[in-house]
Amino acid sequence: MNINPLRIFILTLLASSVIASNAMAQSRDEGDRPGYVPTEDEETLAPEFQKTMVLYRTTEAPGTIIVSTSERYLYLIQPGGRALRYGIGVGREGFQWQGLVKISKKQEWPDWTPPPEMIERQPYLPRFMAGGPGNPLGARALYLGATVYRIHGTNAPQTIGTAVSSGCFRLVNADVTDLYDRVPVGTKVIIRQKPEI
C-alpha cells in the first residue's frame, strides 16, 4: 500500500480544523455572540460570578437593571421570567447605598477624575487619569443619574464578589462591555441591599 505524505498532511490539517471548530462552538456563551472565546479576565473569574442566564421573578419590565448588593450580582431583566446575571464588586462598608436611578451617560474607555471627597480620603490618588487599559474604570462606564457612582469595568477580576469600592459597581471588562452593548441611556437601575422576595 502506497502512503502519500501530502495526503496525510492534508487529512491531518482538516481534522485539526474540525477539532478547533468544535472547541470554538462549545465555548460560545449565552450572550448570543457566535464564536465567542472567553477573555483572560473571564477565565480567572470565580465560576459563581461568571455571566449566566437565570430564572428571575420580578414585576420589573425587561431591560431593567437590578443590582443586589448583598448577593454581589447585577441582573439585566429578560422576557419570560429570566435575567442575565453578572457577578459584581460593590461598595465597602459605609459606602453601600440603595435607590432608583437611570443611566444618564455611557462612555467607552472613560477618563477618571476622582471626586473631591475621594481625594480627601485618599490624597495619594491621581487628580486625573486618561481612559485606557490601566484606568480603574476599565473598558466601559454607565453613569448612574446625577450621582458620582457608575457601573464600570475593572482589570482586577479577583475583586468581583467583594466589597471594596467607594460605592460604584464593577464588572470584569468583558461583562461590562456586554452590558454596555445591551442597554441604552435612560435604562432604569434599581439598587437593592437585599434580594427581592
Q: Per-domain residue ranges for the chain?
A: 1-37, 40-192
What does the pLDDT read at residue 117?
Answer: 84
Residue pair 31/52 in contact by the 8 Å Cβ criterion: no
DSSP labels, 6-20: HHHHHHHHHHHHHHH
Sequence letter at residue 125: L
What does the pLDDT read at residue 162?
Answer: 96
Residue pair 35/24 in contact by the 8 Å Cβ criterion: yes
Q: Which of 114, 152, 175, 191 is catalytic?
A: 152
What does the pLDDT read at residue 170?
Answer: 97
DSSP 25: H
Is the pLDDT reported for residue 34 higher than 80?
no
Instruction: Give the helix/strand (H/E) hosting 73.
Output: strand 73-78
Sequence letter at residue 111: D
Pairwise CA distance, residues 13 & 63, whole Å: 45
* Average pLDDT over all residues of the chain: 83
Predicted confidence (pLDDT) per residue in 151-173, tens digit: 999 988 999 999 999 899 999 99
CATH fold of 40-192 reads: L,D-transpeptidase catalytic domain-like (2.40.440)
What does the pLDDT read at residue 133?
Answer: 85
Is the pLDDT reported for residue 193 higher than 90?
no
What percent of the chain stands above pLDDT 70?
A: 77
Q: Which of 168, 179, 189, 191 is catalytic?
A: 168
Region 122-146: mean pLDDT is 90
Sequence letter at residue 92: R
For the chain, report the end-to-end CA distance as a whole number of angstroms.
Answer: 73
Residue pair 75/115 in contact by the 8 Å Cβ criterion: no
Name the residue with higher pLDDT: 13 or 184: 184
Q: Catalytic: 95?
A: no
Region 2-31: mean pLDDT is 45
Q: Catalytic: 168?
A: yes
Cβ neighbours of 45 (radius 10 Å) = 22
- The predicted model scores a pTM of 0.76
Region 25-32: mean pLDDT is 38
